[in-house]
Amino acid sequence: MSISRRKFLIRSVQCVLAAGFLPGLSACAERPVREQELTGDGYGGLVDVIGRQRADIIRYASLAPSGHNVQPWTVTIKSADNWIIGSAEERWLSEVDPRNRELALSIGAFLENLVIAAQANGFEVNIRLLADNPFDPELLSLELVNGKRVDYPLKRLFERRTLRTGFKNEYLDPEDILYLTDADDNFFYYPPESPGAEWLAMATVAAMEHQVKRDNVQQELARWIRWSEADAAKYRNGLTPESMDITGLAGWYVKNFYGESDVLGKDFRKATVERAKKQVAESGGWIVIRSDNERVGTLIETGRRFERMFLKAKTRSVGVHPMSQVLEERPWVEDVRKILGLESKPQFILRVGYTREYPLPVSLRMPPGEITYTSE
């Protein structure tokens, strides 16, 4: 291959790469969910300890979204019906999430999935907060007790995915907003061309431009990208080319020739910003979720609210794309509350819109043996 041809391919690929390089909870799905990925290593042992029904509850919970798809949660089995939910320090995102704020939100999404799956299997879940802050290794104590079976379409947990493209520039119908948010006053919708939406679009791009210049952030991102099939199979977490909509020639190229150092390149960073500009120009507005405070229990509950909404989005053909750079970078994080007229700080910033199609989910998932532990 000539040098000019190689440069052409590299630059073509870099234009595509930015599709998914948006830190925060935007990266939560990668490749078609396979049954063997969810019942693989460790699943049989977990079934031996707590039974298939309870093991499947954990399996459903593990489909929750998390930043860079790090899947930070852990489950310690004290007994068949008593579990401790915690987090793994090696799966923290210390650069984009130095206060573990987004981690606590992800634990909330995990908890919501778990409760939904438990209720669908005829259990109630008694929840006790253990942590004083999101850095505590043990966050929640759960007790499963027999209860009334709740009819819930569990396929929603499998079908949930982040969408980044294909949004229509149309207002969301008020009835759809009420349905998605349950009329919860912690949700705020900013329709297209409203002052709030225009500021969020501008600020998101500006915050992204600032963030990609931070080498520590790019290095952290690079560590969580699984370029090759071998790394995807080895780690079963993080981002893959499929999650970033890199397919065809571009997908083949990055799987064979890309590595961590490419994420630190100038062209890669530039392409990331350009992609963000295209994304914010394509939306049906923004949904912001706030919380009264940032105590760990409140953040976990806010994560549950987010997941409840997310799980209903497909039923109304609404795409959801978390873009939280504004909450990760100064000065935007200091301005957002005042500019949006909120009484308290937002915890999620979501680009939303009716979508032309809703593809099947794509997601690497860690095997049960990697997230569950048996108490001695």
Domain boundaries, the chain: 3-18+163-354, 35-160+362-374
pLDDT value of residue 38? 66
pLDDT value of residue 23? 41
Locate 142 and state its tokens: 């759960």
Tell me the CATH class for 3-18+163-354.
alpha beta
- Return left, alpha or beta for 294; rule: phi > 0 is left, psi -120 to 50 is alpha, else beta: alpha
Rounded to an integer, what distance in angstroms lies between the CA atom of residue 158 and that of residue 153? 10
Cα distances (Å, whole numbers) of residue 46 to 43, 77, 267, 325 = 5, 9, 45, 38
pLDDT in tens, 225-244: 999 989 999 999 999 888 77
Locate 349 and state its tokens: 């910033």
pLDDT band of residue 36 (cuts 50, 70, 90) is low
Locate 67 and state its tokens: 């930043």
pLDDT in tens, 251-294: 888 888 889 999 999 988 998 899 899 999 999 999 999 999 99
Task: Give the predicted TM-score (pTM) of the model.
Answer: 0.91
Task: Note whether 322 and 366 are within 8 A (CB).
Answer: no
| Average model confidence (pLDDT) across the chain | 89
pLDDT band of residue 194 (cuts 50, 70, 90) is very high
Looking at 2.60.40, 3.40.109, 1.10.3470, 3.40.50, the CATH number of the domain 35-160+362-374 comes to 3.40.109
Q: What is the mean pLDDT of residues 171-183?
A: 97
Residue appearing with tokens 């809703």: 358
- Return left, alpha or beta for 318; rule: phi > 0 is left, psi -120 to 50 is alpha, else beta: beta
DSSP string covering 179-237: HHHTT-TTEEEE-TTSHHHHHHHHHHHHHHHHHHT-HHHHHHHHHTB--SHHHHHHH--
Whole-number percent of the chain with pLDDT over 70: 89
